[in-house]
Amino acid sequence: MQDHDRAFLRLDSVSKTYKARASDVVALDRASLTIDRGEFVSLVGPSGCGKSTMLLAIAGLIDITSGAIVIGEREVAGPYTDLGMVFQKPVLLDWRSVEANVMLQSDLRKLDRRQQLERTDHLLGMVGLEAFAKHRPGELSGGMQQRVAICRAIVHNPPLLLMDEPFGALDAFTREQLNLDLQHIWMEGRPTVAFVTHSIEEAVMLSDRVVMMSPRPGRIIDVFPVDFPRPRDEHLRRSTEFSAMVARIRERFDDVGMPGVAMTDQAEVV
Amino acid sequence: MKAAALESQAAPKGAGNGRRWAGNRISRFMPPFLATMVILVLWEAAISLFDVPRFILPRPSAAIALMFTDFGYFRPHIWITLQETVFGFVLAVALSVPTAVMIVSVSWLEKAFFPLLVWSQVVPKMALAPLFLIWLGFGISSKILMVLLLAFFPILLNAMIGLKSLEIEKRYLAQSIGASRLQMFWRIQLPAALPVMFAGLKVGVTLALIGAVVGEFVGAAKGLGRLLILANSNLDTALLFAAVGWLSILGVGLYLIIDAMERLSIPWHVSQRPQR
């Protein structure tokens, strides 16, 4: 399906089964997917469709039951560290300032401090937080905290960015603003992104391709290319082309028997 | 960005916190101080009113006067009890925190030793106090052992809970950055555990003082606990209450020291933020 040279991340028939007391739960069932270098791909689906599991598996944070995940030339076995991660919660370290939270990458990876500090300030400026560099996370709103988390995930210029419903807990206004912020930051370095969300609008707004998943067992059922030019903005969000694209994906969910699914913004518990 | 500018108005400003904090202190200490005064006045009045004999209950004014006019008499006893408490407490911290770290990081250690630790907690330690006298004599070492025994468990338990309750996302985050085991512990796990650890230290320090007094009850030459026994056998209730007064000053003082250390080391925690 993809041009082989550009392929960066490959999932090859990946399955994940969780052992449960009553019966085993198949979180991910033979999922195969190739993501190109520099591509922004969203994984969309209702709760329990295994999209978070897929992300954790790509990061090597959980073992897979069968199949293989290859990033670049390497097969993932154990935590894969050449990436940045953003979770649904900001997961900031309360005892560090905003700046020091972003600098965690530099501290743990022992990168060049001066150069990283410069980049930290640059990124915080891009998301409008330059005035809050010395503040503690507890003094920031949820949306501001998530911005810090994005800066932390990208400060070391990783080739891969994994985002697990990063805006799921935010209100609609903040969420739309952060979509734009994320696109802005992403276009600067163009890392490969796997982005989990249950909002079809958000997926269409941000992605080059939207991967649609179904629950129990988690399967990939369809993939939609999104060709809107970048940078995408609020005008696009209000355009008929955009609505038509969203509607197409939503209808596909209806077709496979998940009506109304992925339309709610409620937080997902896996 | 626009949204950030809007949100910034909601975030508290750093300036002016100092004065607000000083104001907080006064408003924090004033109510309990006034409440104590009311109780003391009522107590004083009740004794005059009902003509309570001295050997049943002293006037609070008499006990308080004794505390300070006879400070020279109390001083060596206070000093001994303070030493027992502090040495025992420091020993308890020095032993329980590393034990907690070991138990949490090595799972078979927890399986093997944690039931033993719980069992050691269920055994009434007061019952062992006479034994300590036989082992260690009438000096302060038998009391330090009692303090250690009482303070050890709550500090250990809270340290364990704090270290174990690290959010899975924080662990994932550190792993995805490639944190080593040492980095994970020092940079992530330990700081995250500090608030819960301090809760254990606060319980521990109050139990430490109780341990010292109990140890002295059983047999001691000096100490506020010894003074309590002495006052009791002489029906000297004023002396008894004066000793209790000094004990509570000691207890509150030690607690406040831990409290201040907590403020200094985890100013970022929710519990330390000024109330709005």
What are the tens digits of pLDDT across the range A58-77?
999 999 999 999 998 889 99
The region that residue A175 occupies, defined by phi over 0 for left and psi between -120 and 50 for alpha, beta otherwise, is: alpha
Which residue from B minimizes the CA distance to A155? B177
* pLDDT over threshold 70, residue A196: yes
d(CA A97, CA A176): 26
| pLDDT tens column, B196-210 | 999 999 999 999 999
Cα of B165 to nearest chain A Cα, Å: 14
* pLDDT over threshold 70, residue A262: no
Which residues on chain A are in Cβ contact (under 8 Å) with B262? none
> Is residue A41 a contact partner of residue A63, using CB atoms and an 8 Å limit?
no
Task: For residue B111, name the pLDDT band (cuts at 50, 70, 90).
Answer: confident
H/E stretch holding A241 reads helix A240-255
- Helix residue ranges, H only, A34-102: 51-58, 98-102
Which residue from A minimizes the CA distance to B168? A91
Is any Cβ of chain B less than 8 angstroms from the Cβ of A234?
no
Cα of A221 to nearest chain B Cα, Å: 28
Check residue A23 and give its pLDDT: 81
Cα of A91 to nearest chain B Cα, Å: 6
- What average pLDDT does range B100-127 have in this prediction? 87
Check residue B26 and give its pLDDT: 76
Nearest to A85 among B8, B11, B172 (CB): B172
* pLDDT over threshold 60, residue A134: yes
| pLDDT tens column, A220-237 | 989 999 999 999 999 999
| pLDDT tens column, B54-94 | 888 999 999 999 999 989 999 999 999 999 999 999 999 99
* pLDDT over threshold 70, residue A2: no
**What is the residue-averaged pLDDT of chain A?**
89
- What average pLDDT does range A121-135 have in this prediction? 93
H/E stretch holding A74 reads strand A74-75
Check residue B12 and give its pLDDT: 44
CB contact under 8 A, B188 and A87: no
Is any Cβ of chain A less than 8 angstroms from the Cβ of B210?
no
d(CA A237, CA A102): 31
Task: For residue B117, name the pLDDT band (cuts at 50, 70, 90).
Answer: confident
**What is the residue-averaged pLDDT of chain B?**
87
Percentage of the residues of chain B whose pLDDT score is greater than 90: 65
Assign 3-state DSSP to chain A and report helix, strand, coil percentages, each to 5.
35, 25, 40
Cα of A25 to nearest chain B Cα, Å: 20
| pLDDT tens column, A247-256 | 999 999 888 8
Nearest to B11 among A61, A141, A174 (CB): A141
Is any Cβ of chain B less than 8 angstroms from the Cβ of A79?
yes
Which residues numbered 164-183 in B keep a CB inside 8 Å of some CB on A? Answer: 167, 169-170, 172-179, 183
Which residue from B minimizes the CA distance to A62? B172
Number of H helices, E strands in chain A: 9, 10
Task: For residue A155, name the pLDDT band (cuts at 50, 70, 90).
Answer: very high
- What average pLDDT does range B146-155 have in this prediction? 94
Task: For residue B124, name the pLDDT band (cuts at 50, 70, 90).
Answer: confident
Residue A178 tokens read as 């952060």
Check residue A237 and give its pLDDT: 92
| pLDDT tens column, B16-39 | 455 555 667 778 788 888 999 999
Check residue B14 and give its pLDDT: 44
Check residue A215 and give its pLDDT: 79
Which residue from B minimizes the CA distance to A162? B176
Which residue from B minimizes the CA distance to A134? B14
Ranges A172-181, B42-51, B145-154, B262-271: which has the least confidence: B262-271
Interface test with A, best of B170, B173, B175, B190 (most A CBs within 10 A): B173
Is any Cβ of chain A less than 8 angstroms from the Cβ of B196?
no
* pLDDT over threshold 50, residue A51: yes
Task: List C-alpha distances in Å: A112 to A105, A123, A242, B177, B179.
Answer: 11, 16, 43, 15, 17
Polymer length in residues for chain B: 276
If DSSP codes are grouped into helix, strand and coil, which group holds residue A136? coil
Ranges A121-130, A169-178, A229-238: which has the least confidence: A169-178
Check residue B23 and give its pLDDT: 65
Check residue B15 and give its pLDDT: 43
Domain annotation for chain B: domains and CATH numbers: 58-266 (1.10.3720.10)
- What average pLDDT does range A240-263 have in this prediction? 81
Q: Which residues does B143 contact at the CB level (< 8 Å), separation at least 6?
A: B84, B88, B211, B212, B215, B216, B220, B223
Q: Following CA atoms B23, B26, B27, B29 in sequence, which dihedral angle do they give, to the nearest 10 degrees?
A: 150
Nearest to B7 among A85, A138, A144 (CB): A144
CB contact under 8 A, B1 and A140: no
> Is residue A225 a contact partner of residue A84, using CB atoms and an 8 Å limit?
no
Cα of A90 to nearest chain B Cα, Å: 9
* pLDDT over threshold 70, residue B6: no
Helix-helix angle B224-233:B71-105, to 10 degrees: 130
Task: List C-alpha distances in Å: A19 to A27, A65, A112, B107, B258.
Answer: 10, 11, 43, 21, 45
* pLDDT over threshold 50, residue A132: yes
CB contact under 8 A, A87 and B169: yes
Residue B60 tokens read as 């609070």
Percentage of the residues of chain B whose pLDDT score is greater than 70: 89
d(CA B11, CA A139): 6
Cα of B174 to nearest chain A Cα, Å: 8
Which residues on chain A are in Cβ contact (under 8 Å) with B14? 135
Cα of A255 to nearest chain B Cα, Å: 35
Least Cα distance to A33 among A168, A187, A236, A209 occurs for A209
Which residues on chain A are in Cβ contact (under 8 Å) with B12? 139
CB contact under 8 A, B176 and A56: no
